[in-house]
Structure 1
Amino acid sequence: MKNTEGKTTHCFHSGAVMSTVGMGPKLVIGFEMYKPGKDAVAKDEGELSVGKRLISSVVKSHRKLIDVVVYDALACNSIWINHCKNLGIDAIVRAKNNNNNSLRSAKKRVNKSEAVDIWEDEKGFEKVEVYESTFTMDNVDQPLRYVKFAIKHTNQQRTQIMMVTTSMDMAVKTLFKIIRARWDIENSIFNNLKRECGLEHCFVHGGKAVEAVLYLIFIASNIMQLFLLRRLRNHSTTQREMVRLLLKGLYLLKYRAELVFSSS
């Protein structure tokens, strides 16, 4: 494995976004627009089609950047898994209710098995029990791993995380970190883009113009994330406060002639 920090895609009404998950800056590393007439009208089918096109584009442009991609349960099917396999990257996907017979069989087998590992006091959890099995999904040639994490929280509540992955040798703790980090995308990237970067506002109309504005938003967000991490890592300054201070500094420049560059 070159890099165990996963990448994820997230779709919205205009297209799909691929971003980093885990530790470090939350960066948008790829974006793909929906194409009317080419992508299916049905949300799930259309989203998966855009996601496949996006990951193909990112892998082609940045061959050594990505080796693991994580997606939600929508991608728990042979189409997505085979697509990732053909691109030479590993897939990690959530597994919920699924009509795939082989996946249902794997789920039943794991539910009747003994835990392969138990973690006590695992960073905010009282106990995490790990169950694992290998199986072959319909229409997928290579064996897959089915992993279930049975979590007992400190407040005594119990939850489960079930996932399927093509990686047969990745440590279960690494899988656990990646699949949990997938949930952080909503707050750390997507909601931040909407609240702080104006993603939910349509500034222009017309396909190419909309795409150009979106790319500018993503570039600005990435630059801000990198600046906050590398220059202000020991400070609690929020992104909104940082922008306010930058605007204030630009306003004050006109009162300090020595700070203004002159082209004369």
Structure 2
Amino acid sequence: MISSQYHTKEGAINEKLALRKLLIYTQSVYQIPQKIKELTDKRKRKQIPFFNLIMPVFISLLLQYESFHTVFSAPESMGKRLQHCIRGKIPKVDAVRDALSNIEPREVEEIFDSMVAKTYRNAVLRSGTIGGYIAVGIDGVELFSSTKKSCRTCLTRRSSNGGKEYFHRSVVCATIGESPHLILGQEMLRPRDGSEKDEGELTGGKRLVRKLREKYGHFAGVIAADGLYLNAPFINTVLECHMDAVIRLKDEKRLIFQDAEKLFEKGEGKQEEVKRGRKRIECWDIAGFEMEGVKEGVRVVRYCEHMQEKNGKESISWMWLVTTSREIPYKILWKIMHKRWDIEENAFHQLKTYYHAKHCYCHEGLDVVFYLMIIAFNIREMYLYRRIRGFAESGISRKSVTRKFCDDLQSEDMSEILYEAGG
């Protein structure tokens, strides 16, 4: 029996929080089962239909199960749920991993691309995410590491004991600001042969920005990033793609920091104070700075945040940023810089904590699993925040939603939805 916590004044949200409706949404809007059916099956032995191997993987990621062993090697708890999402023999975990290892990652990337393209066609971000601007964050995330297992796409580094450590890292671009928070793309960093260092985050970030521009056109107005990205080649890449960068400025040794500080200390660029609850924000904003290697002049904006604590004392913190935009108001830039943490709190935290991205589901099929995972992430975000009115204000936790969906799969056969067009 579901608690009344699922109900709001606007109506019975619980009635919409049903796995059946989520799967119908997945099938009818984004055609995920249909597209999974079209994946190329490169297996030599094909005793189990390919769809029966990949579809339950996607369902397990959608329902945030922590490992394939939990799903495919626990018949006492999962047998009925598996029978409710596939038809025929329940596959073994080794057969699932073998199938994932043989899928061409590009094919699953195309499924992800089609879903993101659909959100743009449906004008999901039309009104912007922060102050009327479509703002995205870009950052790197480590998926998992091992001192024993490795594959041909592993990056390497020295561990604390001096041995070799293998790991995978991706650069991710996601919307920041208003929900739903959507992942727009990811780019795996790749190893390099010989004595060359493996790819760095900036290399992957530049490649990702260009790729998203090529796929979706003007996919955002603003790209927000941390201090690592305060780099001329990256900023030029953003400008060439006809977008603006908003980047944290931390390094006090940089000339642009020192030049701006001298002017700010003279009172130049002082703006009207802003109040946000118990926070009072001073601001200085000057444009026209030159940054070596950057094709256009940039603005430097400094904020001094005075926070009135409950004990009556005042705490002070400083925030600096560099931006290529000449038009975005300093009040909006402050919001964008603070909301940059959305990529950590709403994307990376979700992927690591609830979708178990730090768990190695299938090493050889890492790219495939990660794309299926972020497809599942986006679909749930869209379903909860676009299809269920009032969900954001309901106070219902994502864990509660997952428990509800898992209970639904235990009690109701969902296979007809998936096989209606999927296989």
Counterpart CA distance in 1 for 2:415 and 2:285 is: 63
Letter in 2 for 1:35: R
Partner of 1:228: 384
What is the aligned counterpart of 2:303 among 135, 146, 149? 149
Structure 1 residues 12 and 69: CA distance shift in structure 2, 3 A: same
Structure 1 residues 261 and 71: CA distance shift in structure 2, 3 A: closer
Structure 1 residues 140 and 233: CA distance shift in structure 2, 3 A: closer
Larger mean Cα displacement after TM superposition, 154-163 or 102-111: 102-111
Partner of 2:358: 200
CA deviation vs aligned residue, 1:107-155 (integer Å, no higher than 9, x gap): 3222332463233532341x11110112111122321100001110122
**RMSD over aligned Cα atoms:** 2.3
CA deviation vs aligned residue, 1:44-65 (integer Å, no higher than 9, x gap): x711111111111111111132
Give how far 1:103 is off.
4.0
What is the aligned counterpart of 2:338 among 180, 187, 195? 180
What is the aligned counterpart of 2:206 among 48, 52, 57? 52
Partner of 2:375: 219
* Alpha-carbon contact 2:138-2:343 (below 8 Å) kept: no
SS at structure 2 position matched to 1:118: coil
* Alpha-carbon contact 2:247-2:323 (below 8 Å) kept: yes
Counterpart CA distance in 2 for 1:107 and 1:139 is: 21
Larger mean Cα displacement after TM superposition, 165-174 or 2-11: 2-11
User: Which of the two has greater strand per residue?
Assistant: 1
Letter in 2 for 1:122: R
Percent sequence identity over matched residues? 27
SS at structure 1 position matched to 2:220: coil
Counterpart CA distance in 2 for 1:143 and 1:261 is: 58
TM (normalized to structure 2)? 0.56
How many residues matched? 252
Structure 1 residues 261 and 137: CA distance shift in structure 2, 3 A: closer
Counterpart CA distance in 1 for 2:275 and 2:329 is: 18
Give how far 1:236 is off.
1.9
Give how far 1:99 is off.
4.6
* Alpha-carbon contact 1:115-1:129 (below 8 Å) kept: no
- Is there any run of 5+ residues in structure 1 with no aligned partner, and where? none
Partner of 2:403: 244
- Is there any run of 5+ residues in structure 2 with no aligned partner, and where? 1-126, 143-168
Letter in 2 for 1:65: F
Partner of 2:216: 62
* Alpha-carbon contact 1:224-1:239 (below 8 Å) kept: no
Larger mean Cα displacement after TM superposition, 151-160 or 132-141: 132-141
Letter in 1 for 2:366: V
Counterpart CA distance in 1 for 2:231 and 2:265 is: 21
